[in-house]
Amino acid sequence: MNRNEELFNRAKAIIPGGVNSPVRAFGSVGGVPRFIKKAQGAFVWDAADKQYIDYVGSWGPAIVGHAHPEVLEAVREAAVDGLSFGAPTEVEIVIAEEIAKILPSVEQLRLVSSGTEATMSAIRLARGYTGRDKIVKFEGCYHGHSDSLLVKAGSGLLTFGNPSSAGVPADFTKHTVVLPYNDTEALKEAFAGFGHEIACVIIEPIAGNMNLVKPSSEFVQTLRRITEENGSVLIYDEVMTGFRVALGGAQSLHGITPDLTTMGKVIGGGMPLAAFGGKKEIMACISPLGGVYQAGTLSGNPVAVAAGLKTLEIIQRPGFYENLTARTEQLVNGLAEAARAAGTVFTADSVGGMFGLYFAGKKPETYADMTASNIENFKRFFHGMLEEGVAFGPSAYEASFMSAAHTPELIEDTVKAARKVFAAMSV
Ligand SMILES: *Cc1c(COP(=O)(O)O)cnc(C)c1O
């Protein structure tokens, strides 16, 4: 038995499914998950000492490359002074000021420990600020695992959602409306029906949890206008896209000023750190200033903040995003060309340091498009590449991530491996 299999069996005896987050179990691709024991730069190594070029990047945080020496040094320095105090610190102010400088829409913010906490808190805040209960989300967007967001569309367009997880009372999700992504007419119809009851709309402004799906300009412009007209809070969930698709996130690419923004992944540089922030008038509703309660024992943890601050410093160095974007494009163009040569139906898309691979003839615009792609081909590609020493996320519905440590040579190696895998798939 291979070491990964041994560990998976041992894990399954003590941890449900053997993992601490479901996608890691390889459930949707089959086979044995690789237990990672080390990461450095663009590489990860599994428990059997196999090396992989890694395009998961811890699902986004590893934008400067794994175990970056400067980030590690910042973490070491912070750790020596104590791991957590449960009291305010100066570095929390520094990182908050830094984030607000990068994102002009964020006038004030609060630090939390996970993206789930950030979105859950932003929604409570929007409800507290507006005094309304209803919220709108879009099909295929993931905003963490809090109750009111684990919702799938109901039977009709203007009906409320049903729980997408056992354990979520239908009573909690009856306030959540689920609309199709990129559907401007459905959005208008919902607001025409009950716009003045909607506390907020939360959106992945470039979706990354149904693979990569870009919104149309018309859709995001309409969304901003209609929420403003109805006094509803617009929440850009940039936990994935923030500091990833561009330094200023999707909002900088769209030219949109959301009322609230949620952040995570990159801002912690691999440590548990996330944030939500936006208009001062709305943020003032949070406890201890206002009546919306929100708290956290480890919020603004000094070691996590140190990793985040150093990461934010590195990504603001000249040329960082130009390089990241060029390398992402090198990869997706190379993969598309390799698929074409083998006659495999495949398209790819990217923005900044994030990309999507689709076993379909066209780029998806909705969740329905995404689910219509050839999942069997994705599985064969995924396992073929893993065998060749290249790791993508173990699901056809996940986006992939580039880091600054991926050199043009490593990308060429990846494309070479893909040529082999596509060729084997076409026989
Ligand atoms: C990852 C993610 C979350 C949840 O963040 P966690 O830190 O996993 O709780 C929320 N929203 C989006 C868009 C994400 O990609």
**Residues 191, 96 share a domain:** yes
**Residues 401, 282 share a domain:** no
Q: How far apart are CA 80 and CA 302, in angstroms?
A: 11
| Residue 98, C-beta contacts closer than 8 angstroms, at least 6 positions apart | 309, 312
**Residues 87, 27 share a domain:** no
**Residues 406, 382 share a domain:** yes
- The answer, yes or no, to whether any atom of ligand 1 lies below 6 A from the CB of 264, is yes
- The answer, yes or no, to whether any atom of ligand 1 lies below 6 A from the CB of 398, is no
CB-CB neighbours of 140 under 10 Å: 23
Which structure tokens are listed for 254? Answer: 């769209």
Are 219 and 256 in contact by the 8 Å Cβ rule? The answer is: no
**Residues 281, 157 share a domain:** yes
pTM, two decimals, is 0.97
**Residues 153, 188 share a domain:** yes
pLDDT at 1: 82
**Residues 132, 52 share a domain:** no
Give the residue, by CA position, lying nearest to ligand 1 atom 8. 115
**Residues 27, 92 share a domain:** no
Which of 266, 287, 316 finishes a domain? 316
Distance of CA 339 to the CA centre of its chain: 26
pLDDT digits (tens, 9 = 90+) for 138-189: 999 999 999 999 999 877 666 678 999 999 999 989 999 999 999 999 999 9
Residue 41: give its domain's CATH number: 3.90.1150.10
CB-CB neighbours of 194 under 10 Å: 14
pLDDT at 426: 80
**Residues 37, 25 share a domain:** yes
For residue 311, the CA-to-ligand 1 centroid distance in Å is 18
Which of 316, 332, 351 finishes a domain? 316
Q: How far apart are CA 231 and CA 222, in angstroms?
A: 14
| Residue 184, C-beta contacts closer than 8 angstroms, at least 6 positions apart | 216, 218, 219, 222
Which of 270, 287, 316 finishes a domain? 316
**Residues 353, 206 share a domain:** no
Q: How far apart are CA 303 and CA 79, in angstroms?
A: 6
Residues of the chain with pLDDT under 70: 156-159
Atom of ligand 1 nearest to the CA of 204: 13
Domains identified in the chain, total number: 2
Residues with catalytic function: 142, 237, 265
Which structure tokens are listed for 289? Answer: 């200033």
**Residues 259, 220 share a domain:** yes
Q: How far apart are CA 329 and CA 353, in angstroms?
A: 9
Q: 285-292 contacts: CB < 8 A, separation 24 or more?
A: 285/125, 285/128, 285/129, 286/110, 286/125, 290/128, 291/128, 292/124, 292/125, 292/128, 292/129
Q: Domain range for residue 76?
A: 69-316
**Residues 188, 89 share a domain:** yes
Q: How far apart are CA 224 and CA 134, in angstroms?
A: 17
- The answer, yes or no, to whether any atom of ligand 1 lies below 6 A from the CB of 286, is no
Residue that is written with structure tokens 């600054």 in the block:
404
pLDDT at 159: 67
Pocket test for ligand 1, best of 240, 245, 266, 401 (most atoms within 8 A of CB): 240
- The answer, yes or no, to whether any atom of ligand 1 lies below 6 A from the CB of 176, is no
Residue that is written with structure tokens 């603001």 in the block:
316
Residue 85: give its domain's CATH number: 3.40.640.10
